[in-house]
Structures are given as structure tokens and as C-alpha cells.
Homo-oligomer: A and B are copies of this chain.
Amino acid sequence: MTNGGNGQPRQVPDACVARLSLYLRELSRLSSKRVSFVSSRRLAEQLGLTDAQVRRDLSYFGQFGTSGRGYEVRRLHDRLTAILGVSGRTWNVALAGVGNLGSALLAYRGFQERGFLFRVVVDTDPQKIGRTVQGITVAPASRLAQLAREQRIHIGLIAVPVSAAQAVCDQLVAGGVKAIVNFAPGRLDVPSGVRLRTVDLAVELESLAFHLARINNR
């Protein structure tokens, strides 16, 4: 047995957590196709993983499978949504920056479906302030900290140019936000206790270039 049996485990690898939402997506798909059971093998195939890895990942949270048959799609789906914290409850999200990237984030259907609600959207551009995007009015960036506190924001998204990123980040922290995803390239400082993930789109391209260079040069 992996853990106490009911509660949460002690030690879940970060890499595993990142995969949970992939499982969830695939299970949703299977569920809508009226598939009722799925084996670790099939699930793995579909997601480009190994069967052992799927079983190991799920085992961190308990025993969901049936020997000889696999996992019951609906049941596993429900358990995973609960584990990921996207069950029942919703998360309040603040977005700073309504440029192209910010707009892409706002428009992304997956967020709403999983209970991530954009409650606060800010920008510095007077042209944009006051406009309504996806049902939310764009507020001035100067009010970010205040709004974050009022709206009890859980997660902040930074989609502003690098030069403004640290200031925006500080405002989010001042507003009591404890989890931030930064899409601006470059490092940000946050106090301990605040969780920060930086997603750098250029890194992906450069990693590919590195590998291509090695293929093409010899």
C-alpha cells in the first residue's frame, strides 16, 4: 500500500503532478467516448509514456485499478479532479497584460472548464483600460495589488514585457497572491512562501536549435 489509504501521500514527484492533468484530459476524452475501462498500457500509449510510469504515478495517490481489467474511467477521472484541486472548488486568477499572449490566455477554454476564473485583468495601456475582454473589464495596473486582495486571487499570470514583470510580480505578492506563473523571459524574485513558475517560450526553440545543429553539422 502506498499511503494511509484515504488521505494524501507524502512525496509526489513534481514531474508526476505535471502529468496528472494530461491523464485527466485523456480520461475526459475517453469518458465522452463512452469508454468505461482503460488499462495503463492504453493510457500510456495515448500520452506517449510507459505503462509502468502510469501505474507508478497513480499509485502515489492510492489504488484505483482492478487487476485484469484496468482502471474505471469515470471513477479515476473523478478522483484525479479531486486530487488536482480542480473538483468542486474554483480558483481565482488575475492576469496582468492584455497583449497577444494575455489575450490568448484569456481565450483559452480549458481554464474555465477546469474552474480557473479570471477575476482581475489589468494593463497599463490607457487604450485598453475600461475595455471588456471575455466578460471582464480591464483595470489599470496601478490597482493590481488592491484588486488582488479584494478578489482573493489565488493565482497570478504575468504576461507583460520583461521590463515591467518584476513590478507586476511585487504587486501580486503585495496583494496576497501565493502562486504566480510568469511568461516574461528572465528571473523574478519572490519571497519564500510564494510559488513561482516561469514559462519561457524561447527556451523551447533554442533547445530544438541545439539538437538540430548537432544533426546538421555532422
Contact = CB atoms under 8 A, between A and B. Distances in A.
Interface string A66-105: 0000000000000000011110010101000001110111
A21 to B, nearest CB: 4
Contacts of A179: 208, 211-212
Interface residues of A, number: 58
A108 B162 CA distance: 11
Nearest to A7: B218
Contacts of A205: 91, 93, 111, 114, 116, 155, 181
Given A100-B103, A103-B100, A114 B206 contact: yes
Contacts of A108: 201-202
A100 B111 contact: no
A18 B91 CA distance: 30
A203 B18 contact: yes
Give the number of times this chain occurs in the complex, counting copies: 2
A185 B101 contact: no
Given A101-B104, A199-B204, A203-B22, A210 B114 contact: no
A208 B181 contact: yes
Interface string A99-135: 1110111011011001010000000000000000000
Given A21-B206, A100-B107, A107-B100, A211 B199 contact: no
B104 A185 contact: no
Given A25-B186, A85-B212, A91-B212, 6 more contacts: A17-B207, A22-B203, A114-B205, A178-B215, A197-B208, A199-B204
Please name the 7 residue pairs, one residue from A and one from B, whose CB atoms are nearest each other, closest first. A85-B213, A100-B104, A101-B104, A21-B206, A100-B103, A179-B208, A85-B209
